[in-house]
A and B are shown apart, each in its own frame.
Chain A
């Protein structure tokens, strides 16, 4: 098979980059298939004169000038496929930190945590205020004094809630249903 080395090189590089973004168990197979498919389409598209042409190929050749060489055809092909990371991602299920199945519960828990923390803060504030002599200045001091501790408490709590749900997302058995159906069954 005689082949333009530039075209081959471009295909190799693209396929290699797609492979790098895939898990090992898929990598070899997807790479091999993609390489063979790209070579198929590159060869056919550049053998313009002796094939029955589809519109897209005609467009492609027109854009490339009168006699597109394989390099140009491959370049356009790869441009159509888009960035290799995106191509690789389309071989994988969508990735979520917290997916649509868990999100409603996550949002609910978050709301509860925020409300409870807010109420707790107000109560602590009231207690602190009643223990001081009761000038408005004392109240402001108490409020400001508690703020750093409250802030770090909130960060920790939100972090832990997020972490727990992110772990749940990975641990709960993945169903093969599309996300829309998951939302229904995951919502209670």
Chain B
């Protein structure tokens, strides 16, 4: 049986930040990031990602700059030092959570 959309979305919402941060060790612009995540199986729509990138930047986890590469100017995002720290902490959190959930569900 399929999980209802809203439940699946809610479950996924929590990990999106972790997924996004994990991909920004090297700098990316928004659309490239979407393609990268989608290619690895995590679908995220543009309407979710772009505001999220802003928010993470406002929180000091990301840094960004405009650059013209190829045909048009793009905003490139990359982890800030604080963001790298948070990423490590979130990864630990994720692993701990994974273990707990496995124990609970089995």
Contact = CB atoms under 8 A, between A and B. Distances in A.
Interface of A: 1, 30, 32-34, 36-41, 44, 54, 56, 77, 80-82, 86-87, 90-91, 176
Contacts of B39: 54
Contact of A40 (B43, B51, B54, B74): B74
Interface string B29-65: 1111011001100010111101100100001000000
Contact of B38 (A34, A54, A86, A90): A54
A169 B72 CA distance: 42
Given A1-B71, A41-B31, A34 B50 contact: yes
Interface of B is mostly: helix
A139 B79 CA distance: 74
B47 A80 contact: yes
Nearest to A35: B72
Contacts of B81: none
A37 B47 contact: no
Interface of B: 29-32, 34-35, 38-39, 43, 45-48, 50-51, 54, 59, 66, 71-75
Contact of B51 (A36, A41, A54, A91): A91
22 contacts: A30-B54, A32-B75, A33-B50, A36-B72, A36-B74, A37-B29, A37-B46, A39-B72, A40-B29, A40-B32, A41-B31, A44-B31, A44-B35, A56-B38, A77-B46, A80-B46, A80-B47, A82-B47, A90-B47, A90-B51, A91-B50, A91-B51
Interface of A is mostly: helix
Given A30-B54, A32-B66, A90-B48, 5 more contacts: A33-B75, A36-B29, A40-B72, A56-B43, A176-B59
Contacts of B47: 80-82, 86-87, 90
A135 to B, nearest CB: 62
B71 A81 contact: no
Nearest to A86: B47
A54 B75 contact: no
Contacts of A32: 66, 73, 75
A91 B50 CA distance: 8
